């Protein structure tokens, strides 16, 4: 298994199988284009590898040119053709072989065929290493197909995920995460704990609160608890490694879980990277960071009101409350950038009744 950006891929088709498929297509093209000098129209960027191997196996004379048609963003086809680079030399009156890496919806092929008609080519045929018959929505026949596959997202041998994976000799397909792993964030008084309790029941997830984990380990004098307390007693911050090891122990303890809500962790970029690394070793990852967003003044008033009955001194002093917000905003801003870079940050309006906020959170959770 490999990781590209934020996603995991498992080996799907070997280099040997690819070579056999390429040879099969090359034989058919040689049979059909004897005594002809076709132009191989190579669709960039993905088809470059396939086209190179096909052309090297072509027995006669040929030319090649390139066209770029972009319709993919991330792992999904946008359905719209966004960029087209013109073809040279002139294709008028020529026999053209369109070389694609993969045909799924057929949108790219449709756009290219329209260009070829305008160019007044003599004939055209389509060669694709991979073909997804269940995803194909057009009537145009694909003349040469290396391998038919299911509607999976794949990388390797020219195919990429956001720029990575093209150089792989084997084909890998996207591994779907089995767990729903969420980082839940919210400023003090936003009701994060209340929502975590509701969400863990609804989605059958394990709620891991860093504060609860620390208290449990220290109270029960576990090896990690004793180690953490030794730092705290000296007035030092508990090192990330100790915190992460506590979290790991909780995850391992619940290996059969459908997923986790991480509450209060990570708090720094290094902790977020460590969590990603730990989950990736399990073949899992974070689905998203969900942050409750509530205006500070509203929360200050809410906490001061709570301080009248909670007995907590930090809920009774406005300056201390605002200092907690400053600390939260500093940490969250860093983590927001980290998860936004992975397209995994989700801000949710945290103003309203518990039921209203839960409904908004569920809309996000249901997308994971």
Per-residue model confidence as pLDDT tens digits over 280-306: 878 788 999 999 998 888 888 888 887
Find the mean pLDDT for residues 201-220. Answer: 92
Residues 248, 324, 331, 360: which is the catalytic one? Answer: 324
Residue 362 structure tokens: 């569920």
For residue 73, is pLDDT > 60?
no
The DSSP result for 212-231, as a single string, is HHHHHHHHTT-HHHHHHHHH
For residue 158, is pLDDT > 90?
yes
Q: What is the pLDDT of residue 301?
A: 85
Q: What is the pLDDT of residue 308?
A: 77
Least Cα distance to 188 among 357, 310, 309, 326 occurs for: 326
If you average pLDDT over every residue of the chain, what do you get?
88
Residues 132, 192, 200, 344: which is the catalytic one? Answer: 192
Residue 166 structure tokens: 């093209």
Between helix 318-341 and helix 269-281 the angle, nearest 10°, is 50
Nearest 5°: phi and psi at 51? -60, -40
- Condensed to tens digits (0 to 9), the pLDDT of residues 224-252 reads 999 999 988 888 878 889 999 999 999 98
Q: Give 317 or 209, the one with higher predicted confidence.
A: 209
Taking the model in full, what pTM does it have? 0.59
**Strand pairing of 123-131 and 144-148?**
parallel
Residues 248, 306, 320, 360: which is the catalytic one? Answer: 306
Which residue shows structure tokens 């045909």? Answer: 103
Instruction: Yes or no: say if 91 and 66 are a contact pair by the CB < 8 Å rule.
Output: no
Active site residue 312: yes
Strand order in the sheet with 345-349: 206-209, 259-263, 180-185, 288-293, 345-349
**Dist. CA 174–CA 164, nearest whole Å:** 13
Find the mean pLDDT for residues 72-101. Answer: 71
Active site residue 138: no
Active site residue 302: no
Handedness of CA 24, 25, 27, 28 (dihedral sign): positive
Least Cα distance to 325 among 350, 351, 298, 347 occurs for: 298
For residue 72, is pLDDT > 80?
no
* Domains of the chain: residue spans and CATH: 2-174 (3.40.50.2020), 180-365 (3.40.50.300)
Q: What is the pLDDT of residue 81?
A: 53
Q: What is the pLDDT of residue 55?
A: 97
Q: What is the pLDDT of residue 88?
A: 66
Active site residue 306: yes
């Amino acid at each position: 298994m490999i990781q590209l950006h934020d996603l995991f891929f498992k080996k799907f088709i070997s280099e040997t199988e690819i070579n056999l498929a390429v040879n099969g297509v090359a034989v058919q093209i040689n049979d059909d284009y004897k005594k002809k000098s076709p132009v191989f129209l190579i669709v960039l960027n993905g088809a470059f590898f396939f086209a190179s191997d096909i052309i090297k196996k072509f027995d006669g004379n040929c030319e090649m040119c390139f066209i770029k048609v972009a319709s993919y963003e991330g792992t999904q086809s946008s359905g719209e053709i966004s960029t087209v680079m013109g073809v040279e030399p002139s294709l008028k009156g020529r026999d053209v072989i369109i070389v694609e890496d993969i045909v799924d919806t057929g949108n790219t092929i449709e756009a290219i065929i329209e260009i070829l008609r305008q160019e007044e080519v003599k004939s055209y045929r389509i060669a694709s290493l991979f073909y997804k018959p269940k995803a194909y929505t057009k009537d145009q026949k694909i003349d040469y197909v290396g391998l038919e596959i299911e509607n999976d997202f794949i990388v390797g041998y020219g195919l990429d995920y956001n720029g990575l994976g093209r150089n792989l000799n084997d084909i890998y397909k996207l591994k779907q995460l089995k767990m729903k792993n969420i980082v839940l964030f919210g400023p003090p008084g936003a009701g994060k704990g209340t929502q975590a309790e509701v969400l863990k029941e609804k989605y059958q997830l394990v709620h891991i609160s860093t504060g609860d984990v620390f208290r449990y380990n220290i109270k029960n004098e576990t090896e990690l608890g004793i180690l953490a307390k030794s730092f705290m007693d000296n007035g030092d911050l508990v090192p990330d490694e100790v915190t992460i090891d506590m979290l790991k122990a909780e995850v391992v303890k619940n290996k059969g879980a459908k997923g986790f809500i991480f509450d209060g962790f990570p708090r720094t970029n290094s902790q977020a990277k460590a969590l990603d690394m730990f989950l990736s070793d399990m073949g899992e990852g974070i689905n998203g960071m969900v942050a409750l967003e509530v205006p500070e003044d509203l929360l200050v008033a809410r906490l001061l009101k709570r301080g009248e009955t909670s007995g907590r001194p930090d809920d009774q002093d406005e300056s201390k409350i605002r200092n907690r917000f400053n600390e939260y905003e500093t940490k969250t801003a860093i983590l927001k950038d980290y998860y936004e870079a992975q397209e995994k940050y989700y801000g949710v309006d945290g103003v309203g009744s518990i039921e209203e906020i839960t409904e908004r959170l569920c809309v996000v959770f249901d997308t994971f």
